[in-house]
Chains A and B, each alone.
Chain A
Amino acid sequence: MIEVKDLCKNFGTLKAVDHVSLKVEDGQVLSLIGSSGSGKSTVLRCINHLEEPDGGEVFIDGVPVTEENLRDMRQKTAMVFQNFNLFNHMTVMNNITAAPVHVRGLSKEEAEKKAGELLALVGLSDKADVYPGKLSGGQKQRVAIARALAMEPEAILFDEPTSALDPEMVGEVLEVIKKLAQSGMTMIIVTHEMGFAKEVSDNVIFMTDGKIIEEGSPEKIFENPENERTRAFVSSFLK
């Protein structure tokens, strides 16, 4: 379970995140939507302290994230990035096994066995010995998802996982994320794919200017939004 209480983050004078609180129960999928610069990604990055919050607290399983327990907390929440951020000097296999071996202390054999299963899950069993430079964007992102899963996290944070992809590759990545959602993985997804958010989410939050404008079930947000701005945003997407 992830809980964010009264989170604030400023970049200079800009209030990127302005008193945001949210909660994701185990097995639930929360989508954060909103226009670019609305603070969605920053919320996500604050959850595992890639950005240091200026105020508020983040709880994972009821435990507040602090500088001291940060590494343990990061192992509970894996992150998938817009630009994949694979390690370019490592094969796909080593990308996936690096953290399990060096952080969790698994043996190489254990980690590789697990990685093999994960590669099968994301449909890339034949790419284990390939370097990221030889992969398409969609394949890179699927490797990144496998890498995140290899740490056996309790939750995965997706930061615009399809925004850097060519349109024809979006589907293959969303398919994998959907599969994870169905398997009961807890997830927070920052996305511009409205149809996908509607389909996969248990809850949706709409943000503008660092604030939560509206939240609720996907049906409510996409079909019966209360707020004027939510309505304007959603209708611009779902034509």
Chain B
Amino acid sequence: MQIYLEGIKVAFRGAPMTLGVCLCALLIGIVFGLIFALMRTSRNRVLVILAKIYIEVVRGTPLIVQALIMAYGLPVFLQQNGIAFSWREYMVVPAIIVCGLNSAAYMAEVIRGGIQSVDKGQIEAAHSLGMTKKQVMKLVVLPQAFKVAIPAFGNEFVTLIKETAVLSFVAVVEILRSAQLWNASTFETFAAYTGAAVVYLCFTFPLSKVVAYIEKKLSWEGAI
């Protein structure tokens, strides 16, 4: 029994890293997701196509491959082209970037859904009051689009917590990597990996319950 508790304790040491990366990635994901969603719903064909390509490429390739390219591939590519570049000991930086940009592709679709769910009549009313396109977007469309998207942001955060396990492959000492390192020195393989599983569950289970609660609670009257 003692060894299992030890395994959980060890994995738990990686939790701040996992949660930190997830939080940063979520913020990057929302900001860039919004940009891609606006491109995707714009009238400019070039912007629409660029956004579509980005979304398809990111969603069509595994996160681990993207992480390997960003963490190891990119520095080598730059060095081969005469630019001395290395992430050095800051491997968490490419980890955050890659999770954020990955998340952005999924967020873009969620936010786009939110934008398109806003009643056309309200947009017409806003135009008829003399608002500019920017004002209509900022005052009428986006607040409602984000409201629709809030539960999806929560779900994305839960998903990120699990998906960031792949960062153990690029030298980021998060939950899984902590467990792996402990396993390597103690050979307590079962305790190490079940410990990691328990720690992931400790975060994902309550969080998904919170998200479900918010989703249920979210009415126009209640949330503002």
Contact = CB atoms under 8 A, between A and B. Distances in A.
A107 B146 CA distance: 27
Interface in B112-135: 119, 121-122, 124-132, 135
Contacts of A182: none
A132 B147 CA distance: 16
A85 B129 contact: no
B136 to A, nearest CB: 10
The 4 closest A-B pairs by CB, nearest first: A85-B125, A99-B129, A85-B121, A75-B130
Contacts of B122: 85-88
Contacts of B124: 50, 81, 85
A84 B220 CA distance: 17
Contacts of B132: 71
Select the residue from B122, B130, B147 with max chain A CB neighbours within 10 A. Answer: B130
B140 interface: yes
28 contacts: A50-B128, A74-B130, A75-B129, A75-B130, A78-B128, A81-B121, A84-B121, A85-B122, A85-B124, A86-B122, A86-B125, A87-B122, A87-B125, A87-B126, A87-B139, A88-B220, A89-B143, A98-B139, A102-B135, A103-B129, A103-B130, A103-B131, A104-B130, A131-B220, A131-B224, A132-B220, A133-B219, A151-B129
B130 A151 contact: yes
B121 A87 contact: no
Contacts, number: 71
A144 B129 CA distance: 11
Contacts of B129: 74-75, 78, 98-99, 103, 147-148, 151
A48 interface: yes
A81 to B, nearest CB: 6
Contacts of B140: 87
B144 interface: yes
Select the residue from A78, A99, A147 with max chain B CB neighbours within 10 A. Answer: A99
B221 interface: yes
A133 B147 CA distance: 15
A83 interface: yes
B132 to A, nearest CB: 7
A89 B130 CA distance: 19
A151 B127 CA distance: 13
A142 B222 CA distance: 24
B144 A81 contact: no
B223 to A, nearest CB: 9
Given A98-B139, A103-B135, A89 B220 contact: yes
A106 B130 CA distance: 14
Given A87-B122, A89-B147, A133-B219, A99 B130 contact: yes
Contacts of A89: 143-144, 147, 220, 224
A72 to B, nearest CB: 7
Nearest to A99: B129
A79 interface: yes
Contact of B220 (A48, A72, A133): A133
A28 to B, nearest CB: 21
Interface in B94-125: 119, 121-122, 124-125
B139 to A, nearest CB: 6
Given A87-B140, A89-B147, 16 more contacts: A48-B128, A50-B124, A71-B132, A85-B119, A85-B121, A85-B125, A86-B122, A87-B122, A87-B126, A87-B139, A88-B122, A99-B131, A102-B131, A102-B135, A104-B130, A147-B129
